[in-house]
Amino acid sequence: MNIGSLLTSSAASHPKSPAIVHGSLTMDYEQFNARVNRLSNALRRLGARPGDNVAILMVNCPQMLEAMFAVFKAGCGAVPINFRLHPSEFAFIIDDSEASVLITTEDFDQPIREVRADLPRVRHVITTGSAAGDVQNYDDVLDGESEQFVDVEVAPDDVAWLFYTSGTTGVPKGAMLSHRNLLGMTDRFYADIFPNFGDHEVVLHAAPLSHGSGLYGVPNVGGAAAHVFPGSTSFDPAWVLETIESQCVTNLFAAPAMIKRLVDCPAIDHADVSSLKAFVWGGAPMMVEDLQQALARFPNLVQIYGLGETPMTITSLSQRDHVLDGNATQTKRLASAGTRRTNVEVEVVDGDDNFQPVGETGEVVTRSDVMTQGYWRDAEATALALQNGWLHTGDLGYFDEDGYLFLMDRSKDMIISGGENIYPREIEEVLARHPAVREVAVIGVPDEQWGEAIKAVVSLVAGQDATEEGLIAYCKSNIASFKKPRSVDFVAEIPKNNYGKIMKRELREPYWKNHERSI
């Protein structure tokens, strides 16, 4: 089944249900589907054939959801691109995907002009801005097109979404997500994440549509939910809180960094967020201290853990497990990434791919029908990631006796100091409990004696003070001495990418400049 048919069905079953809410604009499912069909027809007219890719470089807006579903319905592969990338980065992705059509918002008209020469394969640019030269206006393109479209029949393994990895470890690669993958993701959303999904759900797209929010836009379309879009491109916690209340938002996806900003926002004291039924978080770890603060504010948190290569996701920590004042076992589980998702195999292996017993740390591997078949035009990266039929995540962790997965770190972030494996997460959890610490990232830096030395990079809570010696002593009184940082850097803000992931590579880079180690 074509994943785009979810929209066709919702328009048939819920034609008058609200589909889009954006400022004063509202659109029901019949209207939304009609516009999507017109765009699918236009794509066909412009020469996009089933199997071709269509690049989508847009800020979160209704047209982006339209574009994604129009591309699905046309049997093409959607390539949603992180709108915060540098022009040279998005140009790389557009060119790498071999897209012949690029759909964009007016925000990118000028940057696209600047990189146009690097995009020889793009034959048509469609923008929500003004037409100019070979650039056509989005609404003009829809004009005159039929509202009828028969969704293109696809094979289950045809590419529906080319998901470019966020590149925290190097050049972005396009994980091919098939119609089967996205349908599997949709079923599991209703099974594990939002089991009481009803007829009048409302999803808020506060996080980028090119990542988790867009992926979970798919089951929300399938369930005929209303999609609420922000009016600005920056994450505005006060607006999000106000919108949850005014639009009775029932579900949303957010990265831990966003949740922290919501919790820290003064408006939280009088916000009514009781409409939320599934507040999904993931994409990066959340310190237990931060999770407890979030739990005191938000009902119905659900954690998901996985990768772009395994939409949306391989384990989850259920609402049931998000307990604020629980017993010791429940509190311990708050530090975990939860249990295996429905019909998803997850194991921990050693360097030779042998399954590890309970309690043993190794690399997390997974296998299921929500797993990518590989990377676009990159057989080498595919072979590396998919050894022995299992996707190797690059994350280290262990299962406890109850099947809860405890993630340590990405293998590249692990520190080896004096022959000891040290997991930054453990030290970060300790420092996050210090009252003056707002955010923390622990990295390994070169050290002549130990190979690597532990460094904590810390941002402080406004108005609070802490010293390097004080924080080191704090660690020493909470964990084994060999795990305490040797040094602490204080920064105003810890660098994160647009998906809220701390850029450890970027933090490490200056220290490793003249050393032989891949960072």
Q: Kindly state the smallest distance separating residue 177's Cβ from ligand AMP, in Å.
A: 11
Based on the shown chain and the rule CB under 6 A, indicate whether residue 392 belongs to the binding site for ligand AMP: no
Residue 455 gets the label, from left (phi > 0), alpha (psi -120 to 50) or beta, of: beta
Region from 41-49, 216-224, 277-285, 502-510 binding ligand AMP, contact rule CB under 6 A: 277-285
Q: How far apart are CA 37 and CA 41, in angstroms?
A: 6
Nearer to ligand AMP, 202 or 337 (CB): 337
User: Strand pairing partners for 454?
Assistant: 444
Based on the shown chain and the rule CB under 6 A, indicate whether residue 393 belongs to the binding site for ligand AMP: yes
Q: How far apart are CA 282 and CA 267, in angstroms?
A: 23
Based on the shown chain and the rule CB under 6 A, indicate whether residue 390 belongs to the binding site for ligand AMP: no
Region from 138-146, 188-196, 299-307, 318-326 binding ligand AMP, contact rule CB under 6 A: 299-307
Nearer to ligand AMP, 186 or 243 (CB): 186
User: What number of H helices and E strands is found in the chain?
Assistant: 16, 25
Q: How far apart are CA 472 and CA 488, in angstroms?
A: 8
Based on the shown chain and the rule CB under 6 A, indicate whether residue 284 belongs to the binding site for ligand AMP: yes
Nearer to ligand AMP, 203 or 407 (CB): 407
User: Strand pairing partners for 405?
Assistant: 399
Q: How far apart are CA 471 and CA 160, in angstroms?
A: 48
Region from 108-116, 242-250, 325-333, 387-395 binding ligand AMP, contact rule CB under 6 A: 387-395
Q: Kindly state the smallest distance separating residue 319's Cβ from ligand AMP, in Å.
A: 15
Q: Which of 62, 219, 308, 374 binds ligand AMP (CB under 6 A)?
A: 308
Q: Kindly state the smallest distance separating residue 160's Cβ from ligand AMP, in Å.
A: 17
Based on the shown chain and the rule CB under 6 A, indicate whether residue 374 belongs to the binding site for ligand AMP: no
Closest CA to 94 of 79, 107, 84, 113: 79
Q: Kindly state the smallest distance separating residue 397's Cβ from ligand AMP, in Å.
A: 9
First to last CA, the chain: 42
Q: Kindly state the smallest distance separating residue 310's Cβ from ligand AMP, in Å.
A: 8
Q: Kindly state the smallest distance separating residue 124's Cβ from ligand AMP, in Å.
A: 29
Q: Output the six-digit token pair for 1.
A: 């089944």
Based on the shown chain and the rule CB under 6 A, indicate whether residue 444 belongs to the binding site for ligand AMP: no
Q: How far apart are CA 408 and CA 422, in angstroms?
A: 9
Q: Which of 395, 428, 429, 439 binds ligand AMP (CB under 6 A)?
A: 395
Q: How far apart are CA 147 and CA 138, in angstroms?
A: 15
Region from 199-207, 263-271, 342-350, 392-400 binding ligand AMP, contact rule CB under 6 A: 392-400
Q: CA dist 363 to 173, 189, 243, 360, 398, Å?
A: 21, 25, 40, 10, 8
Q: How far apart are CA 347 and CA 390, in angstroms?
A: 9
Residue 75 gets the label, from left (phi > 0), alpha (psi -120 to 50) or beta, of: left
Region from 102-110, 221-229, 283-291, 343-351 binding ligand AMP, contact rule CB under 6 A: 283-291
Residues near ligand AMP (CB under 6 A), total = 17
Based on the shown chain and the rule CB under 6 A, indicate whether residue 18 belongs to the binding site for ligand AMP: no
Q: Kindly state the smallest distance separating residue 87's Cβ from ligand AMP, in Å.
A: 21
Q: Kindly state the smallest distance separating residue 308's Cβ from ligand AMP, in Å.
A: 3
Region from 72-80, 259-267, 300-308, 352-360 binding ligand AMP, contact rule CB under 6 A: 300-308
Based on the shown chain and the rule CB under 6 A, indicate whether residue 410 belongs to the binding site for ligand AMP: yes
Nearer to ligand AMP, 284 or 288 (CB): 284
The C-alpha angle 416, 419, 420, rounded to 5 degrees, equals 65
Based on the shown chain and the rule CB under 6 A, indicate whether residue 305 belongs to the binding site for ligand AMP: yes
Sheet holding 487-490, edge to edge: 437-447, 451-460, 487-490
Q: Which of 137, 165, 330, 498 binds ligand AMP (CB under 6 A)?
A: 165
By beta-carbon distance, which residue lies closest to ligand AMP?
308
Annotate 244-271 with b (16+ C-beta within 10 A) or e (fewer). Answer: bbebbbbbbbbbbbbbbbbbebeebeeb
Q: Kindly state the smallest distance separating residue 303's Cβ from ligand AMP, in Å.
A: 5
Based on the shown chain and the rule CB under 6 A, indicate whether residue 407 belongs to the binding site for ligand AMP: yes
* H helix intervals, 14-162: 29-45, 62-73, 87-96, 109-115, 138-142
Nearer to ligand AMP, 125 or 259 (CB): 259
Q: Which of 4, 77, 172, 282 binds ligand AMP (CB under 6 A)?
A: 282
Based on the shown chain and the rule CB under 6 A, indicate whether residue 213 belongs to the binding site for ligand AMP: no
Q: How far apart are CA 261 and CA 126, in angstroms?
A: 35
Q: Kindly state the smallest distance separating residue 2's Cβ from ligand AMP, in Å.
A: 24
Q: Kindly state the smallest distance separating residue 284's Cβ from ligand AMP, in Å.
A: 5
Q: How far apart are CA 191 and CA 91, in angstroms?
A: 38
Q: Is residue 512 classed as helix, strand or coil in its secondary structure?
A: helix
Q: How far apart are CA 1 and CA 51, in angstroms?
A: 15
Based on the shown chain and the rule CB under 6 A, indicate whether residue 307 belongs to the binding site for ligand AMP: yes
Q: Which of 62, 285, 397, 424 binds ligand AMP (CB under 6 A)?
A: 285
> Could you say which DSSP state residue 189 is in?
I
Nearer to ligand AMP, 219 or 282 (CB): 282
| Amino acid, single-letter form, for residue 391 | L
Q: How far apart are CA 348 and CA 359, in angstroms?
A: 10
Residue 418 gets the label, from left (phi > 0), alpha (psi -120 to 50) or beta, of: left
User: Which residues of the chain form contacts with ligand AMP (CB under 6 A)?
Assistant: 165-166, 282-285, 303, 305, 307-308, 337, 393-395, 407, 410, 499
